Amino acid sequence: MAVGIRIKLAGVDQETFDAVNKHVDPAGDPPKGLIFHSSGPIDGGWGVIDFWESRAAFDAFQGRIASSMEAAGAKMEGPPDVKEFPVHEIFQP
């Protein structure tokens, strides 16, 4: 079952997010199981809203994020605030 994932990254700005994203390379190597990704600035950091085929697919991707953050030298103010929510439906116009 598909899940939505909301992530708040305290202390992360666009420059940091983009530096990490270069190492993640989602366009060149799309994450398996990712349905939709969006991100943008929020109060005190950066926010992400993703939709995944399953929580297991999201969890499997976390190692790639961690290694990309290390490669970019990115630091956060504490651990990411991750909330999962069930997805009732997905459609694209």
Q: What is the CATH number of the domain that holds 49?
A: 3.30.70.100
pLDDT band, very low/low/confident/very high, at 92 (cuts 50, 70, 90): confident
Is 53 within a domain? yes
**Taking all residues of the chain, what is their mean pLDDT, rounded to a whole number?**
95
- Enter the pTM of the model: 0.91
| DSSP secondary structure, the chain, as one string | --EEEEEEEET--HHHHHHHHHHH-TTTSPPTTEEEEEEEEETTEEEEEEEES-HHHHHHHHHHHHHHHHHHT---SSS-EEEEEE-------
Is 91 within a domain? no
Is 45 within a domain? yes
- Dump pLDDT digits (tens) for 35-76: 999 999 999 999 999 999 999 999 999 999 999 999 999 988
Is 88 within a domain? no
Domain range enclosing 16: 3-77
Is 84 within a domain? no
- The number of folded domains in the chain is 1
